[in-house]
Structure 1
Amino acid sequence: MYQYIIRRTLVFIPMLFALTVIVFTLALLAPGDAFTGKSLADPNVDPEVYERQREEAGLNDAIPVQYGRWISNVAQGDFGKSLVFNGRSVSELIEARLANTLYLGLFSLFITLVVSIPIGIYSAKHPYSLLDYGATGFGFLGLAIPNFFFGLIAIYVLAIQLDWFPAQGTLDEPGMTGIEALKSRLHHMVLPGITLGLAGTATYMRYMRSEVLDVLGSDYIRTARAKGMSDRNVLYKHTLRNALIPIITLMGFEIGMLLSGAVITEQVFNYPGLGTLFLSSVVNRDFPVVMAIAMLLGILILVGNLLADIFYSIIDPRIRYD
């Protein structure tokens, strides 16, 4: 196992290098920059002012020079300074928003697992029941409805009409601490958390139902029942452990997908996380921030895949990586 983890970690090096090239190239190919955007917005400003700022920021240097300077700084943990937010460091901007996005992602994943796994198991144990048909219908709707559209409906019904949950923000009042701050934060995360986890809940539910049905029809399950093992032990000691393998696979991808999917969800709910920062940086052509967030999401996806492989061996002892 340890040798496998070391090998996979070493594989990250060329993958991260390829990721840096892709991120830098996409930013380079994007039209304009932060200074171009300013000059277009205010034609009365002398273009030489912005050209001087471009020179100071190194945007007029040769492409290999720009990439070498950027990758060298990134290797040292320095993502540079924002071109829009008054020269603030990119790391400072990300640090101020990262916690909110992580809280939202973990909360969404918690809701997804708590809802999808029990319903998926029940649907498999009682196929073609009323709840099974209802879960199937919910699964199709969850996959078909775009997150942003569901979020707008949730805001209109649950926030505006019923006034059950707040429609935006993270806290009722600034400066809240302790238990009251925790309650307020959880209250604010309900709507964006459900919206963010909608597609994942539907997917997990269908996978769980399918896998449990498949495992329940296996020979070793029939053998366990023939030996007099109770249905509860059959379900939790044999069926569930094997049925969780594809769920673990999905969770590895979900770590990065939740954070990347939060880009649109956070914008809908005006939630101050990495998503809103990413979109505002794209609009303002603040490419140091855009590249840093894209790099962070890519790294999280790679780490999530590694964690999924490690969890394989924990869930299923038959899997070995030696």
Structure 2
Amino acid sequence: MTANGSRLRAALPLGFVVRRLAGTVGMLFVLSVAVFALLQAAPGDPAQTLLGPRSATPEALAAVRARFHLDSPLAMQYWYWLSDAARFDLGTSIRTGESVAAAIGSRLVLTGQLVGLGFAVALLLGLPLGVLAGLRNRRGTDRAVQSLGVVALSTPAFAGGLLLIYVFALMLGWFPAYGPGEGSGTDRLMHLVLPALALGLAVTAVLLKLTRAAVIRELDREHVTFARARGVRERDILLRYVLRGTLVPVLTGIGLVLAYLLAGTVMVEQVFALPGLGSLLVDSVTFRDIPVVQAEALLIAALVCLAGLVTDLSQPLLDPRLRTASAAKAAAGSAAAVSPGRPADVREEEGR
């Protein structure tokens, strides 16, 4: 076994990975049940909705119920839907008649590009400004940066998008006002700049606040004070001690930001007339296209859970203190299991 493999196994024990994977699968199961139950609880007859504007004769309704298992108990209906989704058979769109998987796949690239650019905007603005505010704590620069963050956080994405269109598209003419552009090159990038700004600015303040709080906390640590007493340069202290200590809380915030970006695309795509997953979801809800709504809700839930899983598994790799804490906890648990008859305070002291 190589040294890198040994370090990876030490940082990510098999039990830790299995627990996180099991938790993610359990969360996905709960979310899938919630999505299915909420759509089943919606008013109206699902068979009539699936049949569409065609004449709803008793024979036609019975045929639709038999085809989509609507005459089965709810538990069986859920099982049929989940088993088909596990095989990537997401059904057929009621509104367009095309495969749901094809409809989502054709729009997934555009939404992925938008989320990626919005995420880059949030990182490039939120992290440096948060570090600056933390280093200038309670000074004029800190107050100015926090004020800008509050303005960005309190501005809805659709309102920010309208303002960006008015200033940079209508007044200055720097960027197109709407549409996805042609192809996937420069023209597509120019069309996505304003939507990405509207999407990223709404979450920049979240990263700014988390980064600022983490920097302030790390500056008060004893090892930072000791490094300054030894005459270590402030630049080295910032890079080697402060920023390294902020990785875990900032990474947690990044996971939350990704979840918000996925949800925020709905309004941004509507404002900028982008044919992505957000627009597809709005149209599907409007026309009660149940198969598409179910598939999109499950996809978004899966992406959010995946972002949380990656965040959890990355933390021990970035911060060695978490590995030490996990190892000490495991050792304490083993000692308690070996000596169950000893007093609790003695076992706790030995675990320390």
For the residues of structure 2 that align with 1:26 and 1:99, how far apart are their CA atoms? 28
CA deviation digits over 1:60-101, x for unaligned, max 9? Answer: 423334222211111212111111112x11111111111111
Counterpart amino acid of 2:297? A
Deviates more, 1:28-37 or 1:74-83: 28-37
* C-alpha deviation, 1:126, in angstroms: 2.4
For the residues of structure 2 that align with 1:77 and 1:69, how far apart are their CA atoms? 12
Would you say the 8 A contact 1:33–1:286 is kept in 2?
no
1:125 corresponds to which residue?
135
For the residues of structure 1 that align with 2:207 and 2:259, how far apart are their CA atoms? 16
2:75 corresponds to which residue?
64
For the residues of structure 2 that align with 1:292 and 1:64, how far apart are their CA atoms? 18
For the residues of structure 1 that align with 2:29 and 2:90, how far apart are their CA atoms? 15
Work out whether 1:201 is the aligned partner of 2:196. no
2:27 corresponds to which residue?
15
CA RMSD of aligned residues (A): 2.3
Counterpart amino acid of 2:118? S
Counterpart amino acid of 1:9? L
Work out whether 1:149 is the aligned partner of 2:159. yes
- Mapping 1:117-266, distance limit 5 Å: 117-171=127-181, 173=182, 176=183, 181-266=184-269
* C-alpha deviation, 1:32, in angstroms: 3.2
Would you say the 8 A contact 2:215–2:243 is kept in 1?
yes
Gaps in structure 1 of 5+ consecutive residues: none
The one of 304, 307, 311 equivalent to 1:304 is 307
Deviates more, 1:122-131 or 1:291-300: 122-131
1:24 corresponds to which residue?
36
For the residues of structure 2 that align with 1:23 and 1:265, how far apart are their CA atoms? 23
For the residues of structure 2 that align with 1:258 and 1:245, how far apart are their CA atoms? 20
CA deviation digits over 1:260-316, x for unaligned, max 9? Answer: 211111111111111011111110101111111111111111111111112211221
For the residues of structure 2 that align with 1:313 and 1:138, how far apart are their CA atoms? 33
Counterpart amino acid of 2:94? L
What secondary structure is seen at the aligned counterpart in 1 of 2:322?
Answer: coil
How many matched pairs? 311
2:289 corresponds to which residue?
286
What secondary structure is seen at the aligned counterpart in 2 of 1:84?
Answer: coil
- CA 127–34 in structure 1, closer or farther in 2 if over 3 Å, else same: same
- CA 92–56 in structure 1, closer or farther in 2 if over 3 Å, else same: farther
Work out whether 1:101 is the aligned partner of 2:111. yes
1:84 corresponds to which residue?
95
Work out whether 1:47 is the aligned partner of 2:56. yes
- CA 238–292 in structure 1, closer or farther in 2 if over 3 Å, else same: same
* C-alpha deviation, 1:165, in angstroms: 1.2
Would you say the 8 A contact 1:36–1:50 is kept in 2?
no
2:85 corresponds to which residue?
74
For the residues of structure 2 that align with 1:317 and 1:196, how far apart are their CA atoms? 34
* C-alpha deviation, 1:13, in angstroms: 3.0
| Structure of higher CA gyration radius | 2
For the residues of structure 1 that align with 2:276 and 2:45, how far apart are their CA atoms? 23
- The alignment's TM-score, normalised by the length of structure 1, stands at 0.89
Counterpart amino acid of 1:235? L
Deviates more, 1:304-313 or 1:59-68: 59-68
What secondary structure is seen at the aligned counterpart in 2 of 1:47?
Answer: coil
Would you say the 8 A contact 1:35–1:54 is kept in 2?
yes
CA deviation digits over 1:191-216, x for unaligned, max 9? Answer: 11111112310111122122212211
Counterpart amino acid of 1:32? G
Counterpart amino acid of 2:24? F
Counterpart amino acid of 2:22? L
Counterpart amino acid of 2:166? Y
The one of 112, 128, 147 equivalent to 2:122 is 112
* C-alpha deviation, 1:36, in angstroms: 4.8
- Tell which has more relative contact order, 1 or 2 (C-alpha 8 A, sep 6+): 1
What secondary structure is seen at the aligned counterpart in 2 of 1:165?
Answer: coil
Gaps in structure 2 of 5+ consecutive residues: 1-11, 328-352
For the residues of structure 2 that align with 1:274 and 1:189, how far apart are their CA atoms? 15
Q: Percent identity between the aligned chains?
A: 35
What secondary structure is seen at the aligned counterpart in 2 of 1:127?
Answer: coil
Deviates more, 1:61-70 or 1:304-313: 61-70
